[in-house]
Every structure is written in structure tokens, then in C-alpha cells.
């Protein structure tokens, strides 16, 4: 239990962050794909207290996703092969967005496509969204499409094409990139050059589990994406390397973050804000809890503004 004076002290910490043109009152968000499409988590926490709610990736059309099983626990994490199941942007706007707005959330919409044109159609369907939609996270890095072999985020040219094709909607674009490439910095630079206001680092790490009795891949989609604490050092390294190379490009950090100290680590590496993903499946109120703990961490460490942590790693 925290004392009244600890709570009062922590309340003085400025938790606001700036991500390109987007001002958020706090740095913690849900990670796409781990908090549903709408206000599902509002039963567990106050969505309006978070920096933003990032919804699962949507395409222009409805999409069925991959066969079951779709998730499996791994040592210090989990492997998923959801396969981008979703209702499509128009149905989401009609059925899910109103509840998010009602809950007071700031909303970041994640979009995906199989082609540049698909992305453009998804972006078009977001035209004239209510002002509560503060940004679009362009997911260029799903590991569960076409066997994970043709990720847009593994190619600077393809990344730039998608961002150019989605820029017509006029909403801030965040490019969600992949750790599964040795060209991460080049891809991030291409995204920035093509108009991304920020990059979200990282999506899941390509992985696979084989059932040794049946000798078949355990997930219905074959391979999958690894997430959870196991990948946090991968995220820290990716964020660090991109921040060192492109210090003016805001980074939204994501990858194995489950505690305030984890969030501090991602911010010291270079993140301006932090998303929580797999931890939501363990504790659905994780994002609000981590944000509250981060506020107290800042106060107890003499950090008056959380944004001061960004890029604060010492060499």
C-alpha cells in the first residue's frame, strides 16, 4: 500500500508525452492485437487514463484469420498465429469505435493489407474519423501472413510505398516494424522519409513450436510470432539502435514489457511511449497498473517529467 504522501508526490510527475504531432497525457498504451477491437478492457481499467488504446490490426475487408490453435505458451512468453482476423474497418467504425469513444479513450487504429493498394483502401475507410482517433499504426510486420516470408517491413522500398499510399488520410502515421531483419534502421529511415511521424518497435519475433508426438507444428498456421518477456532484450536493442541512428524519429516501444521498470528500460533505450501486449493476457489491468507504477518510479527516482527518460541510456 502506498502512503497518502507518496500518492500526492507521484501526482506531481508530468506523465505527458509527445509522439510527432500527437500529444498524449500519459505514455502507456495497449499493444495492437492484445486488447481486442473496442472497449473490452474497460471492465478492468479506466481506458481514458491510458495514453491510448491501440486496436487489433484491421484491413479494408473482413478477414477470417488462421486455423486453430492460434496461441501457445512458451518459456517466458507466448507464440501466436492469429492471422489478422478482423471485421474490417467499416464494421469496426460502426460497432466498436463508439464504445471506445464512450469510454473516453484516445484511439490508435492499426491497419494491414496484403498489397500497397489494400493498405490504401484501409486508410481510405478511415477518412473523417472522429477526433478521438489520434493516429494510425501501419502494421508492416505481421509474422503470420503468407508464412512470414514477405514482410513489408523487411524492405525499405515496400515500406515507403505503403506509407506514401496511406498518407492521403491526413492522420499521423506510425509504422510498426519488424525485428526479424538486419535492415531495421534502413527500414525505419525509409518510413520516416515517406511520412511516418513515428515507428512502433517491435512486432513479434518469428518462431515455431513442433509437437514432438504428432511431429506437426503446434499452431494451426505453422509458424508464429513470439512475444512476452523473452523478447524484451530484442526490443531494447531495436529501439536503441534506431534511436541512435535516427534521434529525431519518435519511437513507440513494445516488446515484453510487464512492469514499470521494463517501461523505464524501453524509454531509456529511446522510446517516447510504451505499449503493453502479452502481459494483458496475464493481468487485464496491466497497462493502467504499469502506468501508475511508472509514475511512482519517476517520483521516487527524482524524475519530474517521464519524457526525460527517453534516450537516457548512458554509454
| Catalytic sites, residue numbers | 142
Which cell numbers in the block locate residue 98?
463508439
Q: Which of 292, 293, 284 is nearest to 44 (CA)?
A: 284
By beta-carbon proximity to ligand RRO, the closer residue of 81 and 272 is: 81
Output the smallest distance, CB 67 to ligand RRO, in A.
12
Binding piece for ligand RRO, criterion CB under 6 A, among 1-9, 38-46, 75-83, 98-106? 75-83
Question: Which single residue brings its beta carbon nearest to ligand RRO?
Answer: 225
Binding piece for ligand RRO, criterion CB under 6 A, among 80-88, 91-99, 193-201, 256-264? 80-88
The residues facing 73 across adjacent strands are: 78
By beta-carbon proximity to ligand RRO, the closer residue of 126 and 264 is: 126
Q: Which of 201, 176, 199 is nearest to 248 (CA)?
A: 199
Output the smallest distance, CB 270 to ligand RRO, in A.
21
Given 41, 50, 52, 84, the residue binding ligand RRO (CB under 6 A): 84
Output the smallest distance, CB 79 to ligand RRO, in A.
9
Contact between 206 and ligand RRO per CB under 6 A:
no
CA 136 to chain centre: 11
Binding piece for ligand RRO, criterion CB under 6 A, among 7-15, 136-144, 257-265, 287-295? 136-144
By beta-carbon proximity to ligand RRO, the closer residue of 30 and 204 is: 204
Question: Angle at Cα 118 formed by Cα 112 and Cα 123, nearest 5°?
Answer: 70
Contact between 199 and ligand RRO per CB under 6 A:
no
Given 22, 24, 33, 58, the residue binding ligand RRO (CB under 6 A): 33
Provide the 3-class DSSP secondary structure of residue 89. helix
- Count the residues of the shown chain that bind ligand RRO, applying the rule CB under 6 A: 15
Given 30, 34, 39, 57, the residue binding ligand RRO (CB under 6 A): 57
Contact between 143 and ligand RRO per CB under 6 A:
yes
By beta-carbon proximity to ligand RRO, the closer residue of 70 and 106 is: 70
How many C-beta atoms lie closer than 10 Å to residue 64's C-beta? 9
Site for ligand RRO in 225-264 (CB under 6 A): 225
d(CA 312, CA 315): 10
Which cell numbers in the block locate residue 262?
521494463
d(CA 113, CA 93): 18
Contact between 82 and ligand RRO per CB under 6 A:
yes
CB 260 within 8 A of CB 267: no
d(CA 301, CA 93): 42
Contact between 89 and ligand RRO per CB under 6 A:
no
Indicate left, alpha or beta for 76 from its phi (over 0: left) and psi (-120 to 50: alpha): left
Binding piece for ligand RRO, criterion CB under 6 A, among 37-45, 74-82, 115-123, 283-291? 74-82
Separation in Å, CA 142 to CA 13, 27, 107, 224, 234: 36, 24, 20, 9, 16
d(CA 278, CA 285): 12
Cis peptide bond prior to 49, omega within 30° of 0: no
How many C-beta atoms lie closer than 10 Å to residue 11's C-beta? 11
Given 51, 83, 250, 256, the residue binding ligand RRO (CB under 6 A): 83
Q: Which residues contact ligand RRO (rule: CB under 6 A)?
A: 33, 57, 80-84, 112, 139, 142-144, 203-204, 225
Amino acid at each position: 500500500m502506498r502512503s497518502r504522501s507518496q500518492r500526492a508526490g507521484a501526482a506531481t510527475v508530468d506523465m505527458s508525452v509527445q509522439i510527432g504531432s500527437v500529444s498524449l497525457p500519459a505514455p502507456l498504451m495497449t499493444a495492437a492485437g492484445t486488447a481486442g477491437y473496442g472497449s473490452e478492457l474497460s471492465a478492468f481499467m479506466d481506458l481514458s487514463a491510458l495514453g491510448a488504446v491501440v486496436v487489433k490490426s484491421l484491413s479494408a475487408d473482413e478477414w477470417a484469420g488462421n486455423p486453430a490453435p492460434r496461441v501457445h505458451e512458451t518459456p517466458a512468453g507466448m507464440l501466436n498465429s492469429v492471422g489478422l482476423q478482423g471485421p474490417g474497418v467499416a464494421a469496426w467504425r460502426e460497432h466498436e469505435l463508439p464504445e471506445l469513444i464512450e469510454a473516453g479513450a484516445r484511439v490508435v487504429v492499426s491497419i494491414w493489407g496484403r498489397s500497397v493498394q489494400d493498405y490504401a483502401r484501409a486508410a481510405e475507410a478511415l477518412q473523417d474519423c472522429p477526433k478521438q482517433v489520434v493516429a494510425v499504426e501501419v502494421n508492416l510486420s505481421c509474422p503470420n501472413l503468407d508464412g512470414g516470408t514477405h514482410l513489408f517491413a523487411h524492405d525499405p522500398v515496400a515500406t515507403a510505398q505503403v506509407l506514401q499510399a496511406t498518407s492521403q488520410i491526413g492522420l499521423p502515421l506510425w509504422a510498426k516494424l519488424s525485428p526479424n531483419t538486419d535492415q531495421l534502421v534502413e527500414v525505419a529511415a525509409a518510413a520516416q522519409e515517406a511520412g511516418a511521424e513515428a515507428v512502433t518497435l517491435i512486432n513479434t519475433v518469428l518462431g515455431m513450436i513442433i509437437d514432438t508426438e504428432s511431429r506437426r507444428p503446434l499452431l494451426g498456421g505453422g509458424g508464429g510470432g513470439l512475444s512476452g518477456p523473452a523478447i524484451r532484450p530484442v526490443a531494447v536493442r531495436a529501439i536503441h539502435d534506431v534511436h541512435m541512428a535516427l534521434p529525431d524519429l519518435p519511437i513507440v516501444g513494445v516488446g515484453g514489457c510487464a512492469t514499470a521498470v521494463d517501461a523505464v528500460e524501453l524509454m531509456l533505450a529511446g522510446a517516447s511511449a510504451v505499449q503493453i501486449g502479452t502481459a494483458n493476457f496475464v493481468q487485464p489491468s496491466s497497462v493502467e497498473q504499469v502506468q501508475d507504477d511508472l509514475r511512482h518510479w519517476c517520483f521516487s527516482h527524482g524524475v519530474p517529467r517521464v519524457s526525460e527518460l527517453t534516450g537516457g541510456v548512458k554509454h
